[in-house]
Amino acid sequence: MKISISQVTLEQALSIVSKGIGSDLSQPILAGIHMRAANGTVELQTSNTTIFIRHALSANVEEEGEIVVSGKLLTNIVRTLSGSVVDIEGDDHNVLVTCDKSTFRLNALDPQDFPSFPEYQLENSVELDTSILSKMVDKVYKVTYKDNSRPILSGILTTVQNNTIRLVATDSYRLAVCDTNVETQNGESFNAILPGAVFHEVLSLSKFSDKILIGITDSQVVFQFANTTFVTRKIEGNFPDYKQLLPKSCKTKVEVDVARLTSALHRVSVVAVNNPSVKFDINVDSATMKLSATSPNQGEATELIPVDIQGSDITIALNYHYVNDCMEAVSDQDKVTFELESGMQPGIFKSYAKVNYLYLLMPLRM
């Protein structure tokens, strides 16, 4: 194989496929990037057995062929190069990388040992706007369960119906739901639990494309954007019936300034070193919400926030880390609505904008 390719283009391609590089020391081939050159195109592939990534880019192909080279090493080399064109020449044993006055001779791995890219036939798919979807995933991803012991909760329930897309995530302590209107082709509908970590990773990379296609097979999830394809395992099982968690009524509704609440929360939580609980006292007569935190070893802190209240006085204790995650998710809004039924039932934060957002949070004992 012998090719010449733009350093900028190659670096961008490597930043995408490097997300699939394996770290299993017992399978060194998975630490490599498979490169195949033919017909003016170079196709890069990586796999860690959980996800497979394929990306194609244009290049000057002088000699067709395929190689496998250390992905981490090649990525680090290309990132440091200052020249405009990178020349790569290799066979089953060695790979020569040259750029301007820099030359690197790398060991190669046998391409025959590299796993084949999965074949698939989509049963259902939907094409969505990348920028909107990326904002939505950012709003719910922190709520996904990060331990693989509960795979269903590590996923994001994604539904598209009646020109509305909705994402739902929960870690059993909190629930995040966001939705927005979208234009779909011929009233497309879609329903799947997408792996949260992969979904978030894909959306962080798909900024290079205006649209992303998401599809499912009987056992796989497929993401396609521009010249890139991600394939990963589908999460099997039933997502929790989140609608049953939503309170049927609301005793008190509070409208609060997002920036003011975020700042106050940061200040009072300084003393909450070993206890993440922050108490929210809502007082109708004074039209205030008092935040307070107490630590036996550190002391206590309180702060009053002016708010608009409908309803009656309520006191509830919440995990300030979780409340802060909510404030980050709605940081693009001026106001957020806080709905409560009692101090022993979940509190719900709501924001209405281009992307509607709901964040349910279980209370702590006071």
pLDDT bin (cut points 50, 70, 90) of residue 247 is: confident
If asked whether residues 256 and 350 sit together in one domain, one would say: yes
- What pLDDT score does 314 carry? 96
Answer whether residue 318 shows pLDDT above 80: yes
CA distances from 58 to 10, 13, 39, 103, 227 (A): 10, 11, 9, 22, 10
If asked whether residues 215 and 163 sit together in one domain, one would say: yes
- What pLDDT score does 24 carry? 82
Q: Which of 214, 242, 270 is the last residue of a domain?
A: 242
Whether residue 19 lies inside any domain: the answer is yes
Per-residue pLDDT of 52-69, as tens digits, reads: 999 999 999 999 999 999
CA distances from 47 to 41, 200, 204, 209, 264 (A): 20, 18, 18, 22, 45
Q: Which of 68, 85, 113 is the last residue of a domain?
A: 113
DSSP 329: H
Number of domains in the chain: 3
- Average pLDDT over all residues of the chain: 93
User: Under a CB-based contact definition with an 8 Å cutoff, are residues 341 and 360 in contact?
Assistant: no
Whether residue 134 lies inside any domain: the answer is yes
Whether residue 176 lies inside any domain: the answer is yes
If asked whether residues 292 and 327 sit together in one domain, one would say: yes
pTM value?
Answer: 0.91
- What pLDDT score does 189 carry? 87
Whether residue 119 lies inside any domain: the answer is no
Those residues with Cβ within 8 angstroms of residue 80's Cβ, 6 or more apart along the chain or in another chain: none
Whether residue 103 lies inside any domain: the answer is yes
Whether residue 118 lies inside any domain: the answer is no
What percent of the chain has a predicted confidence (pLDDT) above 70?
99
What CATH code is carried by the domain that includes residue 213? 3.10.150.10
Burial of residue 360 (number of CB atoms within 10 Å: 0-12, 13-18, 19+): buried
Domain hosting residue 62, numbered range: 2-113
Whether residue 324 lies inside any domain: the answer is yes
- What pLDDT score does 187 carry? 66
Task: Return phi, psi of residue 187, to 5°.
Answer: 65, 40
Q: Which of 209, 208, 200 is nearest to 128 (CA)?
A: 209
Those residues with Cβ within 8 angstroms of residue 206's Cβ, 6 or more apart along the chain or in another chain: 130, 134, 212, 223, 225, 226, 228
Whether residue 366 lies inside any domain: the answer is no
pLDDT bin (cut points 50, 70, 90) of residue 186 is: low
If asked whether residues 146 and 175 sit together in one domain, one would say: yes
If asked whether residues 218 and 323 sit together in one domain, one would say: no
* Interatomic CA distance for residues 66 and 35, integer angstroms: 5
If asked whether residues 62 and 9 sit together in one domain, one would say: yes
Give Cα 295 to chain centroid, integer Å: 34
Q: Which of 192, 213, 242 is the last residue of a domain?
A: 242
If asked whether residues 234 and 278 sit together in one domain, one would say: no
Amino acid at site 163: N
If asked whether residues 255 and 187 sit together in one domain, one would say: no
The answer to which of 18-22, 82-86, 169-173, 279-283 has the lowest mean pLDDT is 82-86
If asked whether residues 66 and 101 sit together in one domain, one would say: yes
If asked whether residues 256 and 208 sit together in one domain, one would say: no
